[in-house]
Amino acid sequence: MKQTPSGGRRLSTRRVRALSRTTVAAAGLALVASALAPVTATAATVSPSAGAPAAGCRQPAPQQPGTSEPHTLASGGLSRTYQLHLPADYTPRRDWPVVLAFHGRGNTGAGTEEFSGLSNLPAIVAYPNGVVGTGDGDRQAWQGAPYAAAGVDDVAFTGDLIDELERTLCVDDRRVYATGKSNGAGFTGLLACRMSDRIAAVAPVAGAFYPATGENCRPSRPVPVIDFHGTGDVTIPYAGDAERGLPAIPDWTEAWADRNDCRARPRTRTIEPDITVIRYSGCDRRADVTHVAVTGGGHTWPGEDSYSGGGYATHTIEAHEVMWQFLRQYRTPRSVVR
């Protein structure tokens, strides 16, 4: 990745080209977008933000637009870190959506940026780093997993991070989204349960949904969810793992559909030989739930730009593009914004 004169990092050539990698990927996105069309058409009726501008609006950007740089934040008595990416056309004269991207166990925010393609989105993207947890090796992890660091409140850290972004950048506080992979994806489920007032929608990928990520889940409003998982994932099995308390992925998405009071029968469409979209619609406050199943997919990020995990990684779709088609339409209601 090239260094800029300011010390930031520009997107690699591989990542810049990710949006147009192949006609197959483009066709896959079009098909998934078509499958999600009823969702986005409905969600688009939500009114745009009209609240007071964030404190960071009209302030100079903390780094050069189009770059990624590490930052430090004090939270819970700890010095926490995150990688921050600003879109190339960032300006403090308009408010921007925010994507929070949580790495898997033992990975980093910078590593997730490398393979995910998320920094190609028209959004501010923050890649937080977890705290080293328990088990083999010094591996960073997130709250809710049995190997997470004891006593670390990552939910509070996420709130502190959002506050910091609002203080230093021009942020649309009604359009803050969370995604992640594996342990980080499981953590987005916990955020949906506990921070539905600040997180507009979530997009877990290959999620490790340990029991603690969903216990006593009482969100203040229905939370839209788009979930990605490979049916051949041997790390976090699609069919679940009772010994580790991991649910079958279809059961997890159905539980969110029940929580969001969606219609009983989901719509299922196989849009490519390895891509099946299962969509629950008619949900309370239009908070639809969608599951994208990758047939034979491993513990990987669909459309990965570099190694993201073991097993088959589809390039029929790009996860960052597909989730953005879903996420970008949703906002937290004005009544629940702080």
pLDDT digits (tens, 9 = 90+) for 276-316: 999 999 999 999 999 999 999 999 999 999 999 999 999 99
| Structure tokens, 303 | 């459309």
Given a cut of 50, whether residue 20 has pLDDT beyond it is: no
User: Residues with Cβ < 8 Å from 174, sequence gap 6 or more?
Assistant: 49, 51, 200, 331, 332, 334, 337
Given a cut of 50, whether residue 39 has pLDDT beyond it is: no
pLDDT band, very low/low/confident/very high, at 33 (cuts 50, 70, 90):
low
Average pLDDT score over the chain? 88
Strand pairing of 275-280 and 267-272? antiparallel
Three-state secondary-structure class, residue 208: coil
pLDDT band, very low/low/confident/very high, at 58 (cuts 50, 70, 90):
confident
Burial group, residue 146, by CB count within 10 angstroms (0-12, 13-18, 19+): middle
Q: Where are the beta strands (DSSP E) in 49-151?
A: 68-75, 78-85, 96-102, 124-128, 131-132, 140-141
Strand pairing of 131-132 and 225-230? unpaired
- Closest CA relative to residue 331, chosen from 121, 61, 127, 51: 51
What are residue 336's phi and psi, to 5 degrees?
-110, -5
Q: At what angle do helices 183-194 and 154-168 cross, to 10 degrees?
A: 80
Alpha-carbon distance of 214 to 216, in angstroms, equals 6
| Structure tokens, 274 | 């390895």
| Structure tokens, 192 | 């949906």
Given a cut of 50, whether residue 9 has pLDDT beyond it is: no
What amino acid is encoded at 88 in this protein? Answer: A
pLDDT band, very low/low/confident/very high, at 55 (cuts 50, 70, 90):
confident
| Structure tokens, 329 | 């339409």
* C-beta separation of 250 from 239 below 8 A: no
pLDDT score of 129? 98
Give the number of residues written for the chain.
338
Letter string b/e over residues 106-131, b meaning 16 or more CB atoms within 10 A of that residue's CB? bbbbbbbbbbbbbbbbebbbbbbbbb
What amino acid is encoded at 115 in this protein? Answer: F
* C-beta separation of 160 from 75 below 8 A: yes
